[in-house]
Structure 1
């Protein structure tokens, strides 16, 4: 970017050296973490509103706006309070009067089609709850997308025109084959006409003055997916797999989102007002490739967010992770601060990838010619060897056999521990002097689809009616017996994996479901159990896909996940008493989960630490707060518990292992341990995942990176990490090694060991940014 960037006073208060000297197509500002991203965006929004009190705004839906919404409300509600006054001074928002949002015009960005406006997972509902009501906007000043009110042929409702909510856009281009298709074709053109009128209404307002949007995994903004015309306007359109995978959580599974169309404003809708302030905000390393493409490559319909380059007031607000692949950011990393072995490792690894050249073949001239490796202090013939040694030492640490350790493995969700660490856990668990505990901190019920629950309930009811759940006939079963022998349910299932008896595996699941339902509803007879199962099926059948169920059904879904977790670790001989289900209360399935609090969420972890007395704690490590929000909220709760525990005993020898899995990855230079994974290790993880995580095998909530099981995505990550390390160590290091373990290596697992102070420092930085939230 050649012209001078006119950052506003608020923006200047958040600037750092990197963003100030931006060379990208669109200026950007990078902040430390997700909560601070929300604060920056809220201050800039209020600054704009103070100058445009009757302006036209368009704000996003989903989880990304969580802290933007919080900070906007918090600042306005506490405008003259000491805390907010200090923040306003710091961020240059010293106005004579508090900004009023009452006269703003609001434009809804997008919506699924079709979807009932009354559904809590519709964007129409979100906009009304968090923006119209939450920010006090006037409904009469809002342009909204209410699918129930979009006129269709013969005045019919979409439920009658589009059975099963399926809209076939091919009808735009071919003749209908029956009366229903004729009705649908006419209706599609009426929807198209409504979209044109919506676009015209926006333009009659002068276009959008303040646009705030996220960026999708394919680079989309609004629902303008990769390949969208930069001159596109409001329209009814289909999406791609990446977008459907992200929407699966809203709609109740990829099976639904794959079929659902969307109505979205276009790229030209966003840029129509050339004076518009248009902001894309993004958090996390997973977004870094999309950000790099949008900001550094020539504007193209392959990178929809690149249209912001046509606006003088276009901006990207990013976390450090989201900015991490930008050339500015990389330059600053190497040119600022003290040099370290980590920087040397990264620079040399990057050079091997640029040149596609093994480290041993790098010449001193190669190192001296590269913009980053030439910065290495005392650069010489031994520099590359220091990197090779560094990586070898991490493998040595990773393969060291530990003894007399007490492991406390934690996961935000079920399957996180398995996907992140299972081959290494299996390796260390063979030493019987070690003791392992597995604690899943949330119930994870959102990962269980309604269809899956109905299938299990129907099977359970069938087994009961056939008299094939014999334990129900034990005299004291409905009083106390249902609590006993849960290990037997696990064994019953696993033994029938070995014998390949699918019907008996289903019966084992039904045993556990019967116990769970009796416990939750305090049932006393077989008839009550049958009636309750039928009632639950009826309730689920009457709900819409993606609907947040009532609390007891939430718990029942979570108990399915808990049984699955027990099945995984039972593969390795772990008893249910060593598997802990904390069900922390902040996890409710709401769009924005609560911040953990001490009594409800921290004390249960602290009590486990006191009881188990671990020497090692493992956790999903997301210090930026940019992965799934459950991850960093669990991290906060664990950090608070460790801090409390440290007041009671000396934790100087306690080790903290930070792992990552399918959501984001470590760089080899950032970690302390590398563990070689064999084909056998991969197979063991994949088979235990497939055999145990029954609700996840069909991947109703897949990663946008891979249309399949998470276990396959973990394996793919390990393979990619090996490929990067092979450029440093050379392939013969593995296949010609004296160690059979290294010769069998086909993937590498990374994790980072920290002492307590290092861990708490990372967590503290995030905690400080969320104080008051």
Structure 2
């Protein structure tokens, strides 16, 4: 495969560094350790191409995926001749490369929501102008952009007049218009189609795209060419599917918006029109592993749109190890290269069970010898499977050990991460009275709360104030000090009404906390000013477009709603409000690209919390590849640095770090060293607490692409699937005949990794190194 495709000097260097020696996929790929390193690879290749094609045609992606491509490109251009820049260029085959000048490149916008105002910060038009036209110093006159405001519609009207609800009914392409409004809409749709054809022709007049860089969606879409798109498709106005709408929900302010918004996208044929084009798809994280495998190992197929890159001799995938983990090449390499480990033995045995549809205790030595992977197990014998079974039982035994006298600090990047990651494990710990538990969410989490939710809550709050049903505001000292008091009472009353099944009183409980938050944030001095403040906030939100970045005080209000929800969850188990810590790290700003954690602003508060709590165990989400939501790996960086700093003050040789994963990515059984049983009762507690406490999330405005509903359902399915895997190794009877009721009641399992401080720091170090010196 490698000999059939010419690699650039940059690609040769990264290929050598990766250690990959065989590529058997339909499209070549390069693999790097983590998400930031993928940005470096992509930036180097882009600048290498731009130096050779100073007036070429480029098309670059939007969203969060290109974050480190953009940052590394800017860094290299600004530091081309500095020592750091020279070192990077020398390492990756660019020593003799003349610094590229980007101002003569022709830019082609890949896609856009329709309709959307161009001045909105969440429009892709705004994105490409900010990060590419301005950020890279491109010439606006040489850019082909998709500006909804400028597309001619019927009678010369603006889209807000033609489509006042911002919904476009594409059935009007094929049916008769029944009203004057529909006739204008139908004519406008035809005019948009005409515009798309002209846009396509302008791209072709330039000779087609010379350098295309795009991400890949969970359904395999590139640009907005979703699963099933015609491989010969061109620029068009089209609908999207659920997976794409779920991904876009964060940009547009909720799936309620993205589900009703169309898109304009270049087509698959547009991408490959120029046969000499460099076409690159970037993908990070294990969540993308299956679609990457399908896209790279399948012949041309409209079910997998990215297979269209097979038409380009310079078609490539740039992947993190996680994204490449299911490729046949990666699986072969994992088992065939390097030291053989116990994890490899466990993984190969489990995969053989799945392949043959057999329980482990029914595997014969002949089965193991005939399999390409299990046959590699050193000292393969009749006892090999039993050793794996014993190892798995040891992990399970560790998960049911009684923990006593521990000071537990459970942390999460977002609200609900801890609950969705390891709630049943925590309930076991909380049942032991000698344990002390603390919980900390490290960011404010305000982006997960929709404007609509806050508007509805504030309007209900006004109604209660009018009815004198928020009586605490009548207390003489409420606006001076009273608003800070009786937080635990708020929580208790709220949960009492959950138990009583009083929905109005539950909502009233939320409104009480919102009033406290308003008084705190806006320094409200009296009842009259409280009403004025509520009206001011309502006016701002009602005049904001969906997905617009809120002012800081409204961000804080949304964050305090999330914090209240988190306190409610842990109050289920008697945890006091003072034991739920809200760190609100400063890097979390609501911008498309959040800042890197700052050692003073973001690390010191974590160290202070460690000093205050003095934990013996710390749990955290473990994403060393940096491929999950960007908040996850930035929190991981800050936490790792905090542990390092704390270790200078205190002997941490006995401190244990619990690395868990949640709905975004999961451990394999072989990666974990602790397995915790999950009963139906545990599943019910998790589902109920999510539904009763995370009120802002129940409607799933920002769902996972894997499920159109609550995240708690995904967690439940994950735990059940993990049980199914372990049952292949241990047998179902191991569970229902076990001596312990906890194991007999297992209908799901949680996997996590128990580490000492050195092991944890090693996991985080590679991610830190990949970013060091750039920002």
Q: TM-score scaled to structure 1, two decimals?
A: 0.99
Is the Cα contact below 8 Å between 1:124 and 1:145 reproduced in 2? yes
Aligned residue in 1 for 2:563: 562
2:165 & 2:726 partners in 1: Cα distance?
49
The offset of 1:360, in angstroms, is: 1.0
CA shift for structure 1 position 97: 2.6
CA distance in structure 1 between the partners assigned to 2:361 and 2:513 by the alignment: 56
**Kept in 2: contact 1:18–1:328 (CA 8 A):** no
**TM-superposed deviation, 1:601:** 0.2
Q: Report the 3-state secondary structure (helix = DSSP H, G, I; strand = E; otherwise coil) of the residue aligned with 1:681.
A: helix
Cα offset for 1:197?
A: 0.3
Question: Deviation at 1:135?
Answer: 0.2
User: What is the match of residue 6 of structure 2?
Assistant: 6
Seen in structure 2, the aligned counterparts of structure 1 residues 343 and 545 have a Cα distance that, compared at 3 Å, is: same
CA distance in 2, matches of 1:5, 1:594: 38
Contact 1:662 1:710 in 2 (8 A): yes
Distance 1:463 1:78 in 2: 59
Partners of 1:150 and 1:194 within 8 A in 2: yes
> Deviation of residue 3 (structure 1)?
5.2
Q: Which residue in the other structure is 2:309 paired with?
A: 308
Residue 2 of structure 1: how far off its partner (Å): 7.8
Deviations 1:153-178 (A, max 9, x none): 11011111112100000010100111
Q: Verify the 8 A CA contact 1:616 1:656 in the aligned structure 2.
A: yes
Q: Report Cα offsets for 1:452-490 as digits up to 9, x if no partner.
A: 000111111111111111111111111111111111111
SS state of the match for residue 670, structure 2? Answer: helix
Residue 428 of structure 1, CA deviation: 1.1
Aligned partner of 1:452 in structure 2 is 453
Quick one: distance in 2 between partners of 1:47 and 1:740?
63
2:182, 2:738 → 1: CA distance?
Answer: 66
Q: Determine the C-alpha separation between the residues in 2 that align with 1:689 and 1:505.
A: 14
Over 3 Å counting, the alpha-carbon distance change for 1:52 and 1:419 in structure 2 is: same
- Separation of aligned partners in 1, 2:462 and 2:286: 46
What pairs up with 1:386-397 in 2 under 5 angstroms? Answer: 386-397=387-398
**Contact kept in structure 1, 2:446 and 2:559, CA below 8 Å:** yes
Query: d(CA) in 1 for partners of 2:98 and 2:235?
Result: 36
Q: Secondary structure at the residue paired with 1:165?
A: coil
Equivalent residue number for residue 105 of structure 1: 106
Q: Which residue of 1 aligns with 2:229?
A: 228
Deviation at 1:96, TM superposition (A): 5.3
Residue equivalent to 2:74: 73
Displacement of 1:21: 1.6
Aligned positions of 1:729-748 closer than 5 A: 729-748=730-749
Measured against aligned partners, the alpha-carbon deviations of 1:45-83 in whole angstroms (never above 9, x if no partner) come to 000001100000000000010000000000001111011
Distance 1:248 1:668 in 2: 32
Q: Distance in 1 between matches of 2:231 and 2:702?
A: 30
CA distance in 2, matches of 1:308, 1:202: 18
Change beyond 3 A, Cα 1:393–1:96: closer
Q: Quote the Cα distance in structure 2 between the aligned partners of 1:570 and 1:376.
A: 49
Mapping of 1:291-690 within 5 angstroms?
Answer: 291-690=292-691
- Structure 1 pair 54/20, CA: closer, same or farther in 2 (3 Å)? farther
Q: What's the counterpart of residue 763 of structure 2?
A: 762
- In structure 2, distance between residues paired with 1:663 and 1:573: 29
**Cα distance in 1 between the residues matched to 2:196 and 2:21:** 39
Distance change (3 Å), C-alpha of 1:443 and 1:96? closer
Instruction: List per-residue Cα deviations over 1:89-139 (Å, max 9, x = no partner).
Output: 111112353100010000000000000000000000000000000000000
Q: What is the RMSD computed on CA atoms of the aligned residues?
A: 0.8
5+ residue gaps, structure 2, are none
Q: Work out whether 1:252 is the aligned partner of 2:258.
A: no
* Structure 1 segment 702-741 matched on structure 2, within 5 A: 702-741=703-742
Structure 1: 5+ residue runs without aligned partners? none
The runs of 4+ residues in structure 1 deviating greater than 3 Å are 16-20
* 1:701 aligned partner: 702
Partner SS state of residue 279, structure 1: strand
Q: Deviations over 1:21-58 (max 9, x none)?
A: 21100000000000000000000000000110000000
Is the Cα–Cα contact under 8 Å of residues 19 and 27 in structure 1 kept in the other structure? Answer: no
Aligned residue number for residue 15 of structure 2? 15
Q: Paired residue for 2:175?
A: 174
Partner Cα separation in structure 2 for residue 641 and residue 164 of structure 1? 49
Partner Cα distance (1:305, 1:207) in 2: 18
Deviation per CA, 1:344-396, whole angstroms, max 9, x where unpaired? 00000010111111111111111000000000001111111111111111100
Alignment of 1:58-207 (within 5 A): 58-95=59-96, 97-207=98-208
Q: CA deviation at 1:738?
A: 2.2
Go from structure 1 to structure 2 and tell me whether the alpha carbon gap of 1:96 and 1:282 turns closer, same or farther (over 3 Å shift): closer
| Distance in 2 between residues matched to 1:710 and 1:8, nearest whole Å | 43
Asked if structure 2 preserves the Cα contact closer than 8 Å seen for 1:236 and 1:263, the reply is yes
SS of the aligned residue for 1:617 comes to strand
Is structure 2 residue 751 aligned with structure 1 residue 750? yes
For the Cα contact (< 8 Å) 2:31–2:324, is it kept in 1? yes
Distance 1:280 1:558 in 2: 35
The 3-state SS of whatever aligns with 2:200 is: helix
Aligned mates of 1:738, 1:96 — CA distance in 2:
69
Is the Cα–Cα contact under 8 Å of residues 18 and 329 in structure 1 kept in the other structure?
Answer: no
Distance 1:557 1:438 in 2: 19
Q: C-alpha distance in 2, partners of 1:428/1:19? A: 44
**Preserved CA contact (<8 Å) 1:618 1:656:** yes
Deviations 1:180-222 (A, max 9, x none): 1111110000000000000000000000000000000001000
How far apart are residue 736 of structure 1 and its match? 2.0
Residue 2 of structure 2 contacts residue 28 of structure 2 at CA under 8 Å; is this kept in 1?
Answer: no
Find the aligned partners of 1:231 and 1:387 in 2 and give their Cα distance. Answer: 50
Secondary structure at 1:317 match in 2 = strand
Contact 1:19–1:28 (CA under 8 A) maintained in structure 2: no
Q: C-alpha offsets along residues 534-582 of structure 1, whole Å, 9 cap, x if unaligned?
A: 1100110000000010000000000000000000000010000000000
TM-score scaled to structure 2, two decimals? Answer: 0.99
Given that 1:18 and 1:332 are in contact with CA atoms closer than 8 Å, whether structure 2 keeps it comes out as no
CA displacement, residues 502-542 of structure 1 (integer Å, 9 cap, x when unaligned): 11111111111111001111111100000110110011000
* SS of equivalent residue, structure 1 residue 753: strand
Number of equivalences = 773
User: Does structure 1 conserve the Cα–Cα contact (< 8 Å) formed by 2:48 and 2:97?
Assistant: no
Report how far residue 418 of structure 1 moved: 0.3
Aligned partners of 2:682 and 2:658: how far apart in 1? 20
Whole-angstrom CA distance in 2 between matches of 1:140 and 1:4: 38
Distance 2:558 2:615 in 1: 30
The SS at the match of 2:213 is strand
